[in-house]
Structure 1
Amino acid sequence: MFYRHYKGGIYYTLGLTSLYEGTGLEREWTHNYLSAIHTETGRKIAVSLIDGRFHVLDEEDTNLVLYLDMVGRFWLRPRDIFFETVKVDGKEIRRFLNYYK
């Protein structure tokens, strides 16, 4: 789904992260991962797509919205912050709005 940030950027959401609970780093993890930037910390986090879900290795990196900007960078933002409201010119608005075009 496409979202428009209140500052104007357009982003495509991919899903939420969950903790990888495998017994080891299976082939799927080591060959199918991407690097995403955490919006609040600036950390680069490895995210792997296994069985249709996005997995991370550290529990503190779960429940993050994974999204893609229009130049091909992957981002992670805590779900509650992604969907929160912000105050702009004295009005409460959603940080991201559904974007249909």
Structure 2
Amino acid sequence: MTVRYRHYKGGIYEIVCEATMESDHTPVIVYRSAEGKVWCRPKSSFFESIEVDGALIRRFEEIR
């Protein structure tokens, strides 16, 4: 089963895998957009909460 996430700006993504940044061993999340483009960002950033318009929300929210 594929788990999908909605970015707070509206895009839909699925996690491809968790990887390790070679230079400093930071855990990163590799994820793919609905259009097929592949991205990565630090795991801590992917799952963090951010402030938007005064409200604390998740950067990526799991779509259930």
Q: TM-score range by the shorter chain?
A: 0.7 to 0.9
- Mapping of residues 1-101 of structure 1, within 5 Å: 1-18=3-20, 58-60=22-24, 62-100=26-64
C-alpha spacing 1:76/1:61, structure 2 compared with 1 (3 Å): farther
User: Which of structure 1's runs of 4+ aligned residues deviate more than 4 A?
Assistant: none
> Structure 1 unaligned runs (5+)?
19-55
Computing the radius of gyration over CA atoms, which structure comes out larger, 1 or 2? 1
Find the aligned partners of 1:8 and 1:61 in 2 and give their Cα distance: 30
Write 1 or 2 for the structure with the bigger share of helix: 1
> Structure 2 unaligned runs (5+)?
none
Find the aligned partners of 2:24 and 2:33 in 1 and give their Cα distance: 23
TM-score w.r.t. structure 1 length?
A: 0.56
The aligned length equals 62
TM-score w.r.t. structure 2 length?
A: 0.85
SS at match of 1:60: coil
Identity %: 40
Q: Is the 8 A contact 1:4 1:11 kept in 2?
A: yes
